[in-house]
Structure 1
Amino acid sequence: MSTARDDVLGRIAGALGRRGTPAAEAYAAIDRPYLRRHHEDGILDLFAERVAHYRATVHRVDTAGLPGAVARVLSRGRYAVPAGLPAEWIAEVDPGLLVHEPPVAELDALDGVVTGCAVAIAETGTIVLDHGPGQGRRAFSLVPDHHLIVVTAGQVAPDVPEALERLDPARPLTFVSGPSATSDIELNRVEGVHGPRTLDVILTR
């Protein structure tokens, strides 16, 4: 019997032996010998680089420039706005372009959606939505062809472990790594099959 198999079976046996232990205590007792953080500096630069690698367009602005950046991206078409999105983010957008909290049946007729997020991961260039205030239902991030996501500097975690600690696993989580894309058997890339064809990310600093 291999050492690796013994190790796996031993871990399972140990986990089963903790039946009746409070979930938080059992979770804290799990051995985590892996490196938790690979980066200490340049986190925002790394995140912007990784997001752009996925063919998303990244706009970097300071907080004061955020409303203007949103208005430039949402300059034509009609866009869904989820409940709870900060009003100041869309203060400079033509109100006639915005549809607040549209029903799911109307999303396909809109050109895009603007949302916030729950957390972002610099190492992987991933943005995570937990569909809380300002993020809308999951359909908001899947149906419209264009998705604009606002990411604040404080929401960017260096690596996956730290990002996961900020999330509630009981909530519905959507992980976004660039525009929706897939490839056929001949490796021809097709975008927009399972979600937005175009992804814009505004990163504040």
Structure 2
Amino acid sequence: MSARETILARIRDAQTLAPPAPHEIPREYRTGRTLPDDQRIDLLVDRLVDYKAHVHRCAGEDLPDTLAQVLDGIGALRVGVPAGLDDSWLTGFTGDVAVDSADVPAPQLADLDAVVTASTVTCAETGTIFLDGSPDQGRRALTLVPDVHVCVVTVGTVEVGVPEAIARLVPQRPTTMISGPSATSDIELERVEGVHGPRNLHVVIVS
């Protein structure tokens, strides 16, 4: 018997001995929480800043100018975007805009100065942004390889807590959760940025 067969046999034995699973999993956590827009956004901004993200706020009609200012401020000359991003968002940007596709090898994405995407939903309480691979958010590699991620969050997609945010997701879609720029610490608690994703996160909140 191979090691694989031995492991699978033990799993089958364990499943046989295990008690039957309940038909329904209890979902008794707190749901349905709401806050006025200003309080919800203030809470989100507090969490984002605590995570060392750069936060920018603007009205909908000012989004192209705000994005241009953010990209110019970081010296971006070549910016990647998912294929479904609204073309009007980058009308104020004078640099090169590269539309991503599955044909672009992931290592080449490192040549981009930044990536601009939309978002699906955001949790104010934890400062977590959810991407689900929609056309205006693109594949995971697009938001993990470039050093700078500029993410647009609209007020209407901001929920108070995790249960409320999760309820707006489609379980069958791939979900990426972002809580600030990529960072980790080694055993000596030395902070290292950019290991698992962008070192810099800019969040543009649109009201």
Aligned partner (choices 28, 33, 36) of residue 33 of structure 1: 28
TM-score for the superposition, normalised by structure 1: 0.83
Confirm or deny that 1:98 pairs with 2:105: no
Look up the SS of the partner of 2:137 in the other structure. Answer: coil
Task: Name the aligned partner's letter for residue 203 of structure 1.
Answer: I
Find the residue that maps to 2:169 and give its secondary structure: coil
String of CA shifts for 1:46-97, please: whole Å, max 9, x gaps: 1111111100000011111111110011123211011110112111111x32
Q: Where do residues 178-193 of structure 1 align in structure 2 (5 Å cutoff)?
A: 178-193=180-195
Q: Equivalent of 1:70, from 67, 76, 85?
A: 67
AA in 2 matched with 1:97: D
Say which SS state the counterpart of residue 60 (structure 1) adopts: strand
Residue 195 (1) aligns with residue 162 (2) = no
Q: Which residue of 2 aligns with 1:9?
A: none
Aligned 1:1-205 pairs, distance under 5 A: 13=20, 15=22, 18=23, 30-36=25-31, 40-41=35-36, 42-75=39-72, 76-94=76-94, 96-101=95-100, 103=104, 104-205=106-207
- What one-letter code is carried by the residue in structure 1 that aligns with 2:84? G
- TM superposition shift of 1:36: 2.0
CA distance in 1, matches of 2:51, 2:42: 15
Question: Over aligned residue pairs, what C-alpha RMSD do you find?
Answer: 1.6
1:23 match? none
Letter in 2 for 1:68: D
Between the aligned residues of both structures, percent identity stands at 48
* Alignment partners' CA distance in 1, 2:32 and 2:107: 42
Aligned length: 181
CA change 1:39–1:186 in 2 (3 A) is farther
Quote the Cα distance in structure 2 between the aligned partners of 1:106 and 1:180. Answer: 19
TM-aligned CA deviation for residue 170 of structure 1: 1.1
- Shift of residue 38 of structure 1? 5.5
CA distance in 2 between partners of 1:37 and 1:116 (Å):
24
CA–CA distance in structure 1, aligned partners of residues 190 and 34 of structure 2: 34
Separation (CA, whole Å) in 2 of partners of 1:33 and 1:134:
34
**Residues 92-138 of structure 1: CA deviation (Å, up to 9, x unaligned):** 111x3211125134201111100001110001000010010111111
Task: Using the TM superposition, give the Cα deviation of residue 141 of structure 1 relative to its aligned residue in structure 2, in angstroms.
Answer: 1.0
Q: Runs of 4 or more off by more than 3 Å in structure 1?
A: none
Question: How far apart are the structure 2 equivalents of 1:64 and 1:173?
Answer: 29
Q: Distance in 2 between matches of 1:199 and 1:37?
A: 29
The Cα of 1:37 is off from its aligned counterpart by 5.0
Distance in 1, matches of 2:111 and 2:152, equals: 22
